[in-house]
Amino acid sequence: MQKKTTRAANTGSSKKQQTNSSISLVVHGSNNQICVDSRAIAKEFGRQHKNVLQTLDDLLADKTISRLESKPSNYIKRGKEYRRYELNKAGFLKAMPFIGGNKSREGQSRLVDEFLKMEEKLARQAKEREKLVCQIARLSGKDSRAILTDEIQKFIAYAKANGSNSADRYFCIITNAVHQTLVIVDPKSTQVRELMTAIQLSQLATFELIAAQVLTEGMEEQLPYKLIYQSLKVALNSQRVARTPLLEG
């Protein structure tokens, strides 16, 4: 399992400040599970590591902590191999009352604070990544939107030439029909594309191209404009996915 080690440390200028406030938390895998090393627990709680290991062994044996909440592993020190545990947040919170030590209260407070800080940092990073992916998706989706917009404008002129007195309304009607194929849209929502996820934007590009193709083929075949619009709705309905809400604006 791939992992990366992140130090939640005070970046103050003095070496003493860094040493006193440095706690090693490990972030595992694609789901960013935060874990703490049993050696860090021993240090923060003021206990010998071997005693912390014994406590964790007992908690695992009586199933106070599950195997999913802890991961046994080894580390090398001065050429020798030693045991350790990595506990996720649930495992650590369950173990805390049983660790003891002459700095138990301080250790609990500091480690819980570091877990919360790391969770906030990872959530912030995830939000930034989602924002970047969405920006890229919006840029890549501009071509499909431009194609559909062009075809809608042609369709409006086509409908007017064939007797429609309210053809201009098709711009909003067709745009909304495409959006409604994919997401649940509040009638009051504006800038719908800006509130879509990267996955939704990718799917939207496909639906926009489908709609544009239906309009193009209908006009080329000189079909009645109302029939073309009905054909567009049928084509979109055939592609309908499980609709999801928009992101919060």
Structural domain boundaries in the chain? 3-129, 141-245
- The DSSP bridge pattern shows strands 244-245 and 183-184 to be parallel
Question: Considering only CA atoms, which of 208, 192, 200, 189 is closest in space to residue 244?
Answer: 200
For residue 248, give both structure tokens.
């919060």
What is the percent of the chain with per-residue pLDDT over 70, rounded to a whole number? 76
d(CA 152, CA 219): 11
Number of H helices and E strands in the chain, helices first, is 9, 7
Phi, psi of 219 (to 5 degrees): -70, -35
For residue 24, give both structure tokens.
């090693």
Looking at residue 54, its pLDDT comes to: 94
Widest distance between CA atoms in the chain: 89
The string of DSSP codes covering 163-175 is T-SSGGGHHHHHH
Other C-beta atoms lying within 10 Å of the C-beta of residue 113: 12
Is residue 219 over pLDDT 90? Answer: yes
Confidence band for 199, pLDDT divided at 50, 70 and 90: confident
Looking at residue 180, its pLDDT comes to: 85
Cut 0.75: pTM above it: no
Length of the chain equals 249
Confidence band for 221, pLDDT divided at 50, 70 and 90: very high
